Amino acid sequence: MNALILFIGWCILFVLCWPLAVLALILCPIVWLISLPLRLIGITIGAAFALIRAVLFLPARVLGWRRR
């Protein structure tokens, strides 16, 4: 559904201002490639925080503490 909305928005932009639509079509993969390492860094930091949280809460889980 999201891809369909994006395509319809691009078609409307193409009708209104075609040079801007073509520029957006060319720049979209470049922006995606630039943002890919930042996403990987975010996933890595999130995994590190999840590991730290699991290690810190391990004694409570071993003793049988449950969230209500």
For the stretch 25-64, pLDDT in tens is: 999 999 999 999 999 999 999 999 999 999 999 988 888 8
Residue 4: predicted pLDDT: 94
Number of domains the chain is built from: 1
In the chain, the amino acid numbered 36 is: L
* Residue 68 in domain: no
* Residue 35 in domain: yes
pLDDT tens-place string over residues 9-27: 999 999 999 999 999 999 9
* Residue 67 in domain: no
Residue 48: predicted pLDDT: 97
Quote the domain boundaries for residue 22.
2-62
Residue 33: predicted pLDDT: 94
* Residue 11 in domain: yes
Residue 50: predicted pLDDT: 97
Long-range residue pairs from 42-51, CB within 8 A, at least 24 positions apart, any chain: none
